[in-house]
């Protein structure tokens, strides 16, 4: 569960990215966070992943109060999240399997756990036949599937996907979004940050729209209305 209560964020250069944001995402929800460039979407992601701290307001993520979370506890909080980036961020000299092993090793998983978990996750994302491939041997869509598998491999409570289809064509984008929907149906809370109107409107999900640092709409109708911004 994520809760932002009256959150403000100003950067050192004077930019006021968030101006009193209130947002609640319950366990098991699928939420699109939409808005134009510079609206504050990425700032919300960075706050949730504890990359930055709010200037004002309260922030809770999966039971962790981030306002007074000690730096040494941040890794534990991050293990409850699976993060997917627009540019995939795979390690180029590691195979698909090794990229996933790397993520599991980083949180102290044993060899037995790794052997058990990785085949299941790779099958879930449809890459169980390409475990020995290097990232550059895969298409963009496949690379993003590896990134999603990596986000899932440590069994997080929540997936945060920051513009996951930004580098993909419409067909691959739809596939990725359907995969995220499937993952959500298995019980993982999913937050997808995007500005792709057509894609969002194909799914009947909750859509939170942000503009100029303020939440301007929050509806369950799965409709991303550009004109209101």
Partner 1 sequence: MKRCNFGYFLAEGIRGIFIHGVMSFAAVVSTVACLLIMGSFTLVAVNVGASIVNWEQKNEILAYVDDTLSENDARAIESKIRAIPNVLECTFITREQAMENFVKDKAGDSLYRDLPAEILRHRYSIRLENIEDMETTVAQIEKVQGIASVNALQEVSNGFMTVRNIVGGVAIILIIVLLVVSIFVISNTIRLATYARREEIAIMKMVGATNWFIRWPFIYEGLILGILGAVIAFFCQWGIYNAIGGAISKTDTLSLFTVIPFRSMALYVGEIFLGTGLVIGVGGSLLAIRKFLKV
Interacting residues toward partner 1 by CB under 8 A: 49, 51, 72, 75-79, 81, 83, 89, 91, 93, 102-103, 105-108, 110-111, 150, 154
CA-CA distance, 13 to 88, in Å (whole number)? 28
Please say which residue, 65 or 111, places its beta carbon nearer to partner 1.
111
Please say which residue, 74 or 216, places its beta carbon nearer to partner 1.
74
Smallest gap from Cβ 20 to partner 1, in A, equals 27
Please say which residue, 41 or 78, places its beta carbon nearer to partner 1.
78
Please say which residue, 81 or 215, places its beta carbon nearer to partner 1.
81
**3-state SS class at 80:** coil
Angle 195-26-198 from CA coordinates, rounded to 5°: 20
**3-state SS class at 13:** coil
Smallest gap from Cβ 66 to partner 1, in A, equals 14
**Cβ contacts of 131 within 8 Å, gap of 6 or more:** 95, 96, 97, 118, 122
Asked whether the beta carbons of 206 and 219 are under 8 A apart, the reply is: yes
Smallest gap from Cβ 153 to partner 1, in A, equals 8
Smallest gap from Cβ 74 to partner 1, in A, equals 8
């Amino acid at each position: 569960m994520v809760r932002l209560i009256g959150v403000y964020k100003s950067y050192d250069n004077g930019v006021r990215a968030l101006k009193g944001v209130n947002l609640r995402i319950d366990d098991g929800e699928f939420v699109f966070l939409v808005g134009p460039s510079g609206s504050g979407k990425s700032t919300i992601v960075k706050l949730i992943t504890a990359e930055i701290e709010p200037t004002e307001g309260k922030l809770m993520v999966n039971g962790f109060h981030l306002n007074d979370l000690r730096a040494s506890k941040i890794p534990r909080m991050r293990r409850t999240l699976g993060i997917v980036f627009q540019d995939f961020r795979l390690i180029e000299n590691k195979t698909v399997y090794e990229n996933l092993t790397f993520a599991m090793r980083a949180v102290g998983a044993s060899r037995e756990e790794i052997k058990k978990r990785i085949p299941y996750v790779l099958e879930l994302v449809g890459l169980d036949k390409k475990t020995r491939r290097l990232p550059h041997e895969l298409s963009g869509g496949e690379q993003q599937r590896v990134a999603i598998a990596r986000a899932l491999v440590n069994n997080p409570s929540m997936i945060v996907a920051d513009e996951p289809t930004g580098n993909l064509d419409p067909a691959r984008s739809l596939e990725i979004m359907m995969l995220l929907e499937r993952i959500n149906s298995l019980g993982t809370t999913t937050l997808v940050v995007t500005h792709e109107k057509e894609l969002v409107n194909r799914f009947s999900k909750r859509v939170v729209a942000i503009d100029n640092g303020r939440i301007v709409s929050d509806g369950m109708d799965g409709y991303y209305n550009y004109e209101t911004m």
